[in-house]
Structure 1
Amino acid sequence: MPPRTPASTAPSRKTPAPRAPRSPRRRPSRTSGRSAAFSPLRLLFKLIVLVAAVAGLAAAAVAWMPIPLASSPLDFHIERGSSLKSVARQVNEAGVKVPPLALEMLGRVTRSASMIKAGSYEVHEGVTLWALLAKLTRGDTSQGELAVIEGWTFRQLRDKLDAHPDLRHDTAGLSDADLLRRLEIPESHPEGLFLPDTYLFDKRSSDIELLRRAYKAMQTRLAQEWPLRDAGLPYRSPYEALIMASIVEKETGRAEDRPMVAAVFVNRLRRGMLLQTDPSVIYGMGSAFEGNIRRRDLLTDTPYNTYTRPGLTPTPIALPGTAALRAALHPAASEALYFVARGDGSSQFSATLDEHNQAVNRYILKRAPQ
Structure 2
Amino acid sequence: MYIKKLLLLIAVIGLIVGGLFAYFVYQAVFSPNTNFETETTTVYIPSGTTYSELRGIIYPLIKNTSSFDKIASKKGYTNKVKAGRYILKKGLNNNELVDLLRSKNTPIQLSFNNQERLENLAGRIAQQIEADSVSLLNAFKDEAFVKEKGFTIDNALAMYIPNKYEFFWNTSAEQFRSRMLKEYNRFWNDERKEKAKNIGLTFNEVTTVASIVQKETAKVDERPRVAGVYMNRYKNGWKLDADPTVIYALKKHKNDWDIVIKRVLYKDLELDSPYNTYKYKELPPGPITMPDISSIDAVLNYEKHDYYFFVANVENFGYHKFAKTLAQHGRNKKQYVDWINKQGVNR
Distance 1:276 1:61 in 2: 74
Where 1:75 maps in the other structure, the secondary structure is: strand
Where 1:167 maps in the other structure, the secondary structure is: coil
Q: Which residue of 1 aligns with 2:327?
A: 354
Q: 2:293 aligns with which of 322, 325, 336?
A: 322
Where 2:75 maps in the other structure, the secondary structure is: helix
Does residue 141 (structure 1) correspond to residue 101 (structure 2)? The answer is no
Greater CA drift, 312-321 or 89-98: 89-98
Q: How far 1:222 sits from its partner (Å)?
A: 2.0
By relative contact order (CA 8 Å, sep 6+), the higher-ranking structure is: 2
Does residue 223 (structure 1) correspond to residue 194 (structure 2)? The answer is no
Q: How far 1:180 sits from its partner (Å)?
A: 4.8
Distance 1:137 1:176 in 2: 29
Distance 1:335 1:127 in 2: 67
Distance 1:307 1:360 in 2: 17
Q: How far 1:220 sits from its partner (Å)?
A: 2.0
Q: Which residue of 2 aligns with 1:65?
A: 32
The TM-score normalised by the length of structure 1 is 0.70
Greater CA drift, 217-226 or 305-314: 217-226
* 1:255–1:312 distance in 2 versus 1, CA, 3 Å: same
User: In the alignment, is the contact (CA less than 8 A) between 1:167 and 1:206 conserved in 2?
Assistant: yes
User: In the alignment, is the contact (CA less than 8 A) between 1:284 and 1:305 conserved in 2?
Assistant: yes
Structure 2: which amino acid aligns with 1:194?
Y
Q: Which residue of 2 aligns with 1:55?
A: 21
* 1:268–1:156 distance in 2 versus 1, CA, 3 Å: same
Greater CA drift, 221-230 or 245-254: 221-230
Structure 1: tracts of 5 or more residues without a match: 1-35
Q: How far 1:248 sits from its partner (Å)?
A: 1.6
Q: Cα deviation per residue 1:135-173 (whole Å; 9 max; x = unaligned)? A: 225514374x553123533232233345x2753316359
Q: 1:238 aligns with which of 203, 227, 231?
A: 203
Distance 1:304 1:102 in 2: 63
Structure 1: which amino acid aligns with 2:31?
W
Q: 1:291 aligns with which of 260, 268, 279?
A: 260
User: 1:187-226 alignment to 2 at 5 Å?
Assistant: 187-189=151-153, 190-226=156-192
Q: Which residue of 2 aligns with 1:102?
A: 70
Distance 1:276 1:148 in 2: 29
How many residues are paired up?
Answer: 318
User: In the alignment, is the contact (CA less than 8 A) between 2:111 and 2:164 conserved in 1?
Assistant: yes
Distance 1:326 1:354 in 2: 31
Greater CA drift, 239-248 or 125-134: 125-134
- Bigger share in helix: 2
Structure 2: tracts of 5 or more residues without a match: 341-347
Structure 1: which amino acid aligns with 2:119?
R
Larger Rg: 1
Structure 1: which amino acid aligns with 2:323?
S
Distance 1:173 1:191 in 2: 13
User: In the alignment, is the contact (CA less than 8 A) between 2:234 and 2:240 conserved in 1?
Assistant: yes
Distance 1:363 1:178 in 2: 41
Q: Cα deviation per residue 1:283-312 (whole Å; 9 max; x = unaligned)? A: 222152643332111122211111111131
Q: Which residue of 1 aligns with 2:305?
A: 334
Query: Once the two structures are aligned, what percentage of the paired residues are identical?
Result: 21
Q: Which residue of 2 aligns with 1:154?
A: 118
Where 1:260 maps in the other structure, the secondary structure is: helix
* 1:232–1:68 distance in 2 versus 1, CA, 3 Å: closer
